[in-house]
Structures are given as structure tokens and as C-alpha cells.
């Protein structure tokens, strides 16, 4: 029996069953089926399946399937019976055709219809047979092609580049693939789990074998992060480990026990990550507090040179400009000689008329000599400069300044100086224990009218900024009766008041909006006339006294600044001041290059080894590394100053 005969028989069986065995619900559907076929086709179905007896789906499933159909559970005798019945039908059909050709059948209408039907069936069968044969041939050709391609791929697997253990992975074309590294890491994790289980189940030999393979894999993996870093022996270690893991799976695998051990390992890993993260934060804060050796060397050499100078040579020229309100005045408070020099140099180099710019520098007594000596040796062109010592401001004492009074309390001394202070997340943030918060240089910004009583306006600059454009336009900005002109830093929900202040305290929640926008220190235009009129320093003292127990905010100058200048800050255009170069690696380059001032706020200061290389050139271009003092202290145009 041919494939076509079997296929045709099955179609006939299905159609007859549909036509004869549908109930009254399905009559309408069967009527539509009849409309799809001509009367001759229906007659062929009825006559060709008449000898098969009553039809049912069961008989169709078991007895009338072609040899290509596989039915699980069917007895071989049933299949043989169905095949013999189909063969018998084919034989009867051939006999019928021979009788028609010999003219032995009666010549009536019924015989004529049978002859027509039989001939049509034969033609259809012949066409189907040819069609199926063509399809089978094409299928065979496609199969051969697939097999050949698979053989070629299998040949390439053994000689593949290390790490391409799965040819379907996307990493197959990645030169920096880490697939093998991750495979070895997974094997190591499983080996550790099985070692624990082997000990529990007293499988000492297997445990020893696992330990040996684990040691080999750890040694081969080392500190590799990509497959290219692995030694050539890594593939052998993987195969050896896989063998012992397969053996362990056979002897030790227990799903519940494995799950418990993996969870325990995960918890231990999480705790380790948290501990390392805490250590990393502490070390980064520590690095941010340190002074590089080269800068310390520079400060010491300059200090020695300054105090060797005669008193008459220690004075700066053009001192008459220091109280002239018609000039452009800058306030810069710093203990870093090199950082201060960059601020002054970048401002002068980008100024249209440097002679109209006046720089008021304030430092501590430790760096007073060095700061003076640097600018005596490297005067800022036609600009005016003056350096003062904060420790000589006699009016700035503990009876007047709340911060100084609080720093003298036992609680504050314990917080800053006690060696066994906890450093976990429950204690104050590490960054607020930076020694800079002990220095009055950091809090002097709240006393600008007292430091410069003859000035009307002053531009306050931090020492970790670089000026890239002429800043005189800031003196023309209308502040609309506000005291502080600053760039706002809030986004959709970032750097708003609730980030800096404790709104669970009623003093804060009743007086401030938690969604109020924060602003940045670093480049601020202060109207000192309005400052004096509104007694801004008095407002600052009030809130600083209320925060003696640090219940309103943690230490620092931005939170009290937000409170003191609440409702008194005029927002400047963002292009005046771009922040984030000390912590954010994704600051837009176009924003940086179009900004008037760029700010390295954060721990990654440009003079530290922590500095981000991509931003450092904006700062270093204002330093002359061939300067004899810099050269003698081994300054280099790179992050490492040690």
C-alpha cells in the first residue's frame, strides 16, 4: 500500500465520520462541510469507506493510521491488522480496474459511475504519489545539509577559543567574553556545597577529591575577569571538575539540602559585600581627608621661604583696591595652596579685564605663610590679591559663634576624637566627621559682612572649582531683593530639603517645605547690603543654637545654609555652575565645556589620586608643572602625587 493510498483512506474515514456521526448540534456545521465538496467527492467518500463498517474515533486512532503515525500503547497486532486491511483494499481496487478494462462489469449507470469514480481516484493517487515523492526528496536533501552543518560545527567545538563552551551564546563573538570565567565560578560554588554535604554524610574520599579539584580551579581562576585572562590549563581544570561534580551529584544530591546550603552561602556573601562596601566608604572618606605628599612638601617649602623674607617684602601691591565697592570682589577660603592657585589663575586667565578683579583669600595659621609666599612668587597679573589668617579674627570666638562653642563641648569632642567611635550605619555619616567641619574656614561663609564690612557684593568661590569664562556678568544679575544667587540642584526628587533636614522634628516640619529645591555652594553671589538688613548671620546663629544635639541636621554647612537663606535665594542659570565632577562619571561633556564654573564637589578631588582622569585635565591646565617648587616636590601631571 502506498503512502497516497493510506493518506487517502484516512481522509475518507474522517469525512465520513463527520458526515454520518454528528449529533443535532453539529448538523449545521456538517452541512457547511458538504457545501465545500462536489457530489462526486461525497459519493466517493460514501462508497470507498462503506466496507469499513461503523466508524468511530477509536477505530480511526487505532486501525486506520498510516505507517508514519506513531500511537503510544497500540498493540503491534492492531497495527498489523490495519496494514493488512489497507493492503486488501488496494488489491480489490486493482481487480476492479482489470474487470472494467476487460468489460466484465455490467454496462449500467451504476457501473459507469463506479468506473468514472475509480479512474478519477487513480489519477488523484498518481498525482499525490509524485508530489509526495518530490517532497520526500527535498526533505532528504535538507536533512543531509543540516547533518553536514552540524558535523562541521562539532569539529569546531574542540578547537574553539577558550571560553566559547556554548556555541549558541552571544558571547561567541565577543573578544572579552567571560563565559568560561562564570562557568568556573559556578563549578567552584557547587564544589563548596558538595564538600559541606560530603562531610555531613561522611563521604570522606569524595570530599577530599572535591577539595583537590576546588583548589586547582581556584588557582586557575585567580583574579581573571575575562576568558582571555585564563591560563591554557583552565579547560582541563573545567573537565576534571565536571567529572567529580557528576560523581558528587550521583552520591550526594539532595534538593532540599542543596537549597539550604546555597541560601546560607548567599547570605554570607551578602554580609561580606556589605562589610566590604562599608570598608570602601570608610577608606574613600579617609583618602578624601588626606593631603598628598607633594602638596604637603610644597606647603612646607613655601612656609620656610616666607618666614625668611624681610617684613617689607611680605606685602602685596594695590592694597587700596581691597575695599573699593566698584571692583569685582571674590572670597576664597582654603588651606590648599595648589587648589587656591588654580581658582585664581583660571579666573584671571578668563577675565576680560583682570585689573578690576580683587581676591580675598583666608586660610589658617598653618598655611598662612605658604599661601602668601605662593602668590608673592606668582602674582595674578594686574589683579589684586590679599591673604588673611582666620585665627587672627579676634571677634570670631566661642562667645559669639555657636559652632566654636559647640566644638568645645565634651559631646562634640567625643564624637570627633574618640578612637572607638562606631562606624556602622546607625552612627552619623562618616563624611560629616571630616576634619574640615572642625575648621572655621568652612563656617566663615556665614560671616561675610563681618569679614568685609565695606563691600556691597561679593562672589564666594570654593577651592575645588575651575573658572572657564568671564564672571563679571554675575554682578549684573538682578537678585530681586534676595541675598543669595545660586544654581539650584534639585531634579524630580533629588537634592530637595528633605534630603538634608530632619522633617520628623517639628521645628523643621513646621517652618520648611520638604519639597523645596536645594541649591549649591561653590559659586554664590551674595548681596551684603541685603544681608545686613535682614540680619542673616543672626538667623544662622538661631538655628545653629537649636541644633546643638544635631537633631535638626547632621554636621556641615549646606543644611544650615538652606535654612538660613530659605526664601532668600535667587536661582541662577545652570550654565553658570556645573557640579558633580568629584563623584559623577556621567556629567555631560557639552555642559562641562559650556559652563562658566565647573565644580569638583565630592571625594574625587582633582589633586587626589582618587580623581577621575576624564575630568582632571580641566583642572591641571592651570598648573605650571615646570615651576621649580612643583618640580622639587615631584609634582606630575597625573593622579599619583606620592
pLDDT tens for 519-570 read 989 999 999 999 999 999 999 999 999 988 888 988 778 899 999 999 999 9
What pLDDT digit, counting tens, does each position of 246-286 carry?
Answer: 988 888 888 888 888 888 888 888 888 888 888 877 777 77
Highest mean pLDDT among 12-26, 275-289, 430-444, 577-591: 577-591
Model pLDDT, residue 227: 85
Model pLDDT, residue 431: 53
Model pLDDT, residue 590: 94
Model pLDDT, residue 270: 84
Model pLDDT, residue 133: 78
Model pLDDT, residue 65: 45
Model pLDDT, residue 435: 58
- pLDDT at 601 > cutoff 60: yes
pLDDT band with cut points at 50, 70 and 90 for residue 19 = low
d(CA 45, CA 331): 104
Pairwise pLDDT comparison (41 vs 148), residue with the higher score: 148
- pLDDT at 4 > cutoff 50: no
Report the CATH number of the 293-419+430-633 domain.
Answer: 3.90.550.10
Provide the grid cell at 474.
554675575
- pLDDT at 100 > cutoff 60: no
> Is this prediction's pTM over 0.75?
no
Q: Which residues lie below 8 Å from residue 182, measured CB to CB, with a gap of 6+? A: none
Percent of the chain with pLDDT over 70: 71
Q: Look at 172-181, 316-325, 485-494, 584-593 and tell me which has the smallest mean pLDDT.
A: 172-181
- pLDDT at 41 > cutoff 90: no
Residue 251: which of 203, 311, 323 has the closest Cα? 203
pLDDT band with cut points at 50, 70 and 90 for residue 5 = low
Model pLDDT, residue 78: 44
Model pLDDT, residue 67: 43
Model pLDDT, residue 154: 58
Pairwise pLDDT comparison (413 vs 503), residue with the higher score: 503
Model pLDDT, residue 491: 65
Angle made by CA atoms 339, 465, 319, in degrees to the nearest 5? 65
Model pLDDT, residue 395: 92
Q: Average pLDDT of 476-482?
A: 94
3-state secondary structure of 215: helix
Model pLDDT, residue 310: 92
Q: Average pLDDT of 318-332?
A: 95
Model pLDDT, residue 549: 82
pLDDT band with cut points at 50, 70 and 90 for residue 382 = very high
Edge to edge, the sheet with strand 597-599 lists: 465-467, 597-599, 577-578
The CB density around residue 85, as the number of other CB atoms within 10 Å, is 15
Q: Average pLDDT of 589-599?
A: 95
Maximum Cα interatomic distance, the chain, rounded to a whole number of Å: 146
**DSSP state letter for 496:** B
Q: What is the mean pLDDT of the chain?
A: 78
- pLDDT at 597 > cutoff 50: yes
Pairwise pLDDT comparison (306 vs 146), residue with the higher score: 306
Percent of the chain with pLDDT over 90: 39
Q: Look at 120-129, 154-163, 185-194 and tell me which has the smallest mean pLDDT.
A: 154-163
pLDDT band with cut points at 50, 70 and 90 for residue 344 = very high
d(CA 220, CA 238): 10
Model pLDDT, residue 335: 92
Q: Average pLDDT of 308-328?
A: 93
d(CA 8, CA 128): 9
Residue 561: which of 483, 505, 509, 506 has the closest Cα? 483
Ranges of each domain in the chain: 180-288, 293-419+430-633
**DSSP state letter for 469:** S
What pLDDT digit, counting tens, does each position of 121-155 carry?
Answer: 878 888 888 877 777 777 677 777 766 776 666 55
Model pLDDT, residue 266: 83
d(CA 637, CA 411): 43
Here the contacts of 541-545 (C-beta below 8 Å, separation 24 or greater) are: 541/401, 541/402, 544/402, 544/403, 544/406, 545/402
Angle made by CA atoms 594, 442, 293, in degrees to the nearest 5? 80
Model pLDDT, residue 510: 92
- pLDDT at 489 > cutoff 50: yes
Model pLDDT, residue 278: 81
Number of C-alpha atoms within 13 angstroms, CB side, residue 67?
A: 10
How far is CA 137 from each of CA 133, 143, 148, rounded to the nearest angstrom? 6, 10, 17
Orientation of helix 39-48 relative to helix 3-20, angle to 10°:
100
Number of C-alpha atoms within 13 angstroms, CB side, residue 2?
A: 16
Model pLDDT, residue 55: 45
Residue 461: which of 288, 344, 570 has the closest Cα? 344
d(CA 610, CA 483): 35
d(CA 235, CA 162): 7
What pLDDT digit, counting tens, does each position of 624-638 carry?
Answer: 877 888 877 877 655
Q: Average pLDDT of 504-518?
A: 91
Model pLDDT, residue 167: 40
Contact yes or no for 459/503 (Cβ under 8 A): no
Model pLDDT, residue 421: 52
Residue 625: which of 642, 641, 604, 609 has the closest Cα? 641
Model pLDDT, residue 178: 82
Amino acid at each position: 500500500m502506498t503512502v497516497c493510498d493510506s493518506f487517502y483512506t484516512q481522509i475518507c474515514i474522517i469525512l465520513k465520520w463527520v458526515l454520518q456521526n454528528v449529533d443535532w448540534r453539529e448538523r449545521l456545521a456538517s452541512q457547511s462541510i458538504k457545501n465545500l465538496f462536489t457530489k462526486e467527492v461525497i459519493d466517493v467518500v460514501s462508497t470507498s469507506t462503506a466496507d469499513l463498517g461503523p466508524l468511530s474515533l477509536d477505530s480511526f486512532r487505532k486501525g486506520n493510521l498510516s505507517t508514519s503515525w506513531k500511537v503510544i500503547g497500540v498493540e503491534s497486532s492492531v497495527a498489523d491488522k490495519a496494514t493488512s486491511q489497507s493492503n486488501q483494499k488496494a488489491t480489490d481496487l486493482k481487480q476492479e480496474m482489470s474487470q472494467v478494462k476487460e468489460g466484465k462489469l455490467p454496462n449500467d449507470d451504476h457501473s459507469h459511475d463506479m468506473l468514472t469514480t475509480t479512474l478519477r481516484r487513480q489519477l488523484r493517487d498518481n498525482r499525490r504519489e509524485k508530489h509526495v515523492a518530490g517532497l520526500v526528496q527535498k526533505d532528504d536533501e535538507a536533512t543531509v545539509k543540516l547533518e553536514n552543518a552540524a558535523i562541521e560545527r562539532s569539529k569546531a567545538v574542540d578547537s574553539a577559543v577558550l571560553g566559547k563552551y556554548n556555541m549558541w551564546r552571544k558571547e561567541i563573538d565577543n573578544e572579552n567574553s567571560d563565559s568560561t570565567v562564570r562557568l568556573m565560578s559556578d563549578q567552584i560554588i557547587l564544589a563548596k556545597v558538595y564538600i559541606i554535604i560530603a562531610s555531613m554524610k561522611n563521604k570522606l574520599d569524595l570530599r577530599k577529591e572535591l577539595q583537590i579539584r576546588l583548589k586547582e580551579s581556584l588557582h586557575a581562576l585567580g583574579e581573571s575577569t575575562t576568558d582571555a585572562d585564563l591560563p591554557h590549563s583552565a579547560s582541563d581544570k573545567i573537565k576534571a571538575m565536571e567529572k567529580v561534580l557528576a560523581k558528587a551529584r550521583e552520591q550526594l544530591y539532595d534538593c532540599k539540602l542543596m537549597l539550604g546550603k546555597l541560601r546560607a552561602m548567599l547570605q554570607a556573601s551578602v554580609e561580606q559585600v556589605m562589610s566590604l562596601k562599608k570598608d570602601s566608604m570608610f577608606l574613600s572618606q579617609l583618602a578624601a581627608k588626606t593631603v598628598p605628599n607633594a602638596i604637603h612638601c610644597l606647603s612646607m617649602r613655601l612656609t620656610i621661604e616666607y618666614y625668611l623674607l624681610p617684613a617689607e617684602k611680605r606685602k602685596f601691591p594695590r592694597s587700596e583696591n581691597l575695599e573699593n565697592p566698584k571692583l569685582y570682589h571674590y572670597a576664597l577660603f582654603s588651606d590648599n595652596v595648589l587648589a587656591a592657585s588654580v581658582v585664581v589663575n583660571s579666573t584671571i586667565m578668563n577675565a576680560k579685564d583682570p585689573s578690576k578683579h580683587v581676591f580675598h583669600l583666608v586660610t589658617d595659621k598653618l598655611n598662612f605663610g605658604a599661601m602668601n609666599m605662593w602668590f608673592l612668587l606668582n602674582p595674578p597679573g594686574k589683579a589684586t590679591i590679599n591673604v588673611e589668617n582666620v585665627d587672627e579674627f579676634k571677634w570670631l570666638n566661642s562667645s559669639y559663634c555657636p559652632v566654636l562653642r559647640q566644638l568645645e563641648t565634651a559631646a562634640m569632642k567625643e564624637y570627633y576624637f574618640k578612637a572607638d567611635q562606631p562606624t556602622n550605619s546607625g552612627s552619623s555619616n562618616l563624611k560629616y566627621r571630616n576634619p574640615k567641619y572642625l575648621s572655621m574656614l568652612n563656617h566663615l561663609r556665614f560671616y561675610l559682612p563681618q569679614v568685609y564690612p565695606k563691600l556691597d557684593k561679593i562672589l564666594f568661590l570654593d577651592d575645588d572649582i575651575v573658572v572657564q569664562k568671564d564672571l563679571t556678568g554675575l554682578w549684573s544679575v538682578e537678585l530681586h531683593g534676595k541675598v543669595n544667587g545660586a544654581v539650584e540642584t534639585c531634579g524630580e526628587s533629588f537634592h530637595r530639603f528633605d534630603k538634608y533636614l530632619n522633617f520628623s522634628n517639628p521645628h523643621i516640619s513646621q517652618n520648611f517645605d520638604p519639597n523645596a529645591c536645594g541649591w549649591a555652594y561653590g559659586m554664590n553671589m551674595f548681596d551684603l547690603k541685603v544681608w545686613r538688613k535682614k540680619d542673616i548671620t543672626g538667623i544662622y546663629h538661631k538655628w545653629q543654637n537649636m541644633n546643638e544635639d544635631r537633631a535638626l541636621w547632621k554636621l556641615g554647612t549646606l543644611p544650615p545654609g538652606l535654612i538660613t537663606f530659605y526664601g532668600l535665594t535667587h536661582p541662577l542659570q545652570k550654565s553658570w555652575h556645573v557640579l558633580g565632577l568629584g563623584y559623577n562619571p556621567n556629567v555631560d561633556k557639552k555642559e562641562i565645556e559650556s559652563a562658566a564654573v565647573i565644580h569638583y564637589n565630592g571625594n574625587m578631588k582633582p589633586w587626589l589620586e582618587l580623581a577621575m582622569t576624564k575630568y582632571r585635565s580641566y583642572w591641571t591646565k592651570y598648573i605650571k608643572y615646570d615651576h621649580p617648587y612643583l618640580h622639587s616636590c615631584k609634582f606630575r601631571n597625573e593622579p599619583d602625587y606620592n
